[in-house]
Amino acid sequence: MTRPAPLIDPFARPIEYLRVSVTDRCDFRCTYCMAEHMTFLPKKELLTLEELDRMCTTFIGLGVEKLRITGGEPLVRKGIMTFFQGMSRHLESGALRELTLTTNGSQLGRFATDLAALGIKRINVSLDTLDDKKFADITRWGRLPQVLKGIDAAKAAGIRVKINVVALKGFNEDELFGIVDWCAHEDHDLTFIEVMPMGDMSEEARLDQYWPLEELRTRLAERFTLTDLAERTGGPARYVKLEETGQKIGFITPLTHNFCESCNRVRLTCTGELFMCLGQEDNADLRAPLRESAENDLLEAAIRNAISRKPKGHDFDYSRQKVEGQMSRHMSHTGG
């Protein structure tokens, strides 16, 4: 059988990276992401685990080599390990080069060993503070010891952990060096994310908490010698090396446009909408063609059509973060 032509967008960028949200639910209620009393999507709106498998398998057949699973919190979706199991067959066949996830860490204690056994080698854990009280304050429902245990379990299972920290002025500013030292000690990678806090914070709190990464970088430079690294991953992260510790630190500023020309990624929501670019509203409904036919022809045609609309670059609009809740933390561009 001949392989279908790979997905190439109008700007000659091959689409090799798919980010898939498997649920809108989460066991935390981070202040900048969700309201405390959320109404979640009705079940019939969500892609079933089988549909998620079919969707991802189709993308992989079209050349996607890297899959990042996100949420909400992906590990709270019931039966999610069945989905990971399904995807691991593509790792085994070599069609998929990497299967990874972005998580809040709360369920890693239960799942890390299984995830490692299924071929997951790297994960991103969103963690903004190492202080119990502050952690409980910002996540509302989260508890730090459970997350730290989860991270330990991942490390023990041989999974490489990257810690994603949202930089929030007045919140984790005073922990900058503590977090850097902890990551060095635990041998975790580290990336800082600049974000305008959203969720249900007041306008005032939001502006108070905006901490530009330029400032954070200047602070780091007071203690470390920073060397810019040329390395790019097709995503927005820039990296520096701390010469004294050898650590590689990532910086992600959502307003940065300079990675667009190499952007190889698209994002699928848990309801089957494909977003071709983080910074633009345009999306394509893939659920309808998926449900319309048991064959994949309609779905493939819809995917190709969507990719033909992938824009050249983005004009980031923060108001969308509010609409999409978890975007503000597990941003679709983050995590390289």
Please, which residue, 53 or 73, has the CB nearer to ligand SF4?
A: 73
Burial code (b: 16+ CB inside 10 Å, e: under 16) for 147-173 equals bbbbbbbbbebebebbbbbbbbeebbe
Please, which residue, 139 or 209, has the CB nearer to ligand SF4?
A: 139
Please, which residue, 16 or 73, has the CB nearer to ligand SF4?
A: 73
Closest CA relative to residue 274, chosen from 301, 251, 234, 295: 301
- Give the shortest CB-227-to-ligand SF4 separation in angstroms: 31
- Give the shortest CB-105-to-ligand SF4 separation in angstroms: 9
**329 Cβ contact partners less than 8 Å away, ≥ 6 residues apart:** 30, 32, 33, 126, 164, 166, 193, 195
- Give the shortest CB-274-to-ligand SF4 separation in angstroms: 20
Which residue(s) pair with 280 in the sheet?
none
Q: What CA–CA distance (Å, rounded) separates 22 from 19? A: 10
Instruction: Write out the two tokens for 127.
Output: 């963690």
Secondary structure class of 192 (helix, strand, coil): strand
- Give the shortest CB-37-to-ligand SF4 separation in angstroms: 13
Q: What CA–CA distance (Å, rounded) separates 82 from 155? A: 22
Please, which residue, 142 or 236, has the CB nearer to ligand SF4?
A: 142
| Helix, strand, coil percentages for the chain (3-state, nearest 5) | 40, 20, 45
Please, which residue, 75 or 118, has the CB nearer to ligand SF4?
A: 75
Instruction: Write out the two tokens for 208.
Output: 């108070």
Binding site for ligand SF4 (CB under 6 A): 26, 28-30, 33-34, 71-73, 104, 126, 139, 326, 329-330
- Give the shortest CB-69-to-ligand SF4 separation in angstroms: 13
- Give the shortest CB-162-to-ligand SF4 separation in angstroms: 15
Please, which residue, 147 or 266, has the CB nearer to ligand SF4?
A: 147
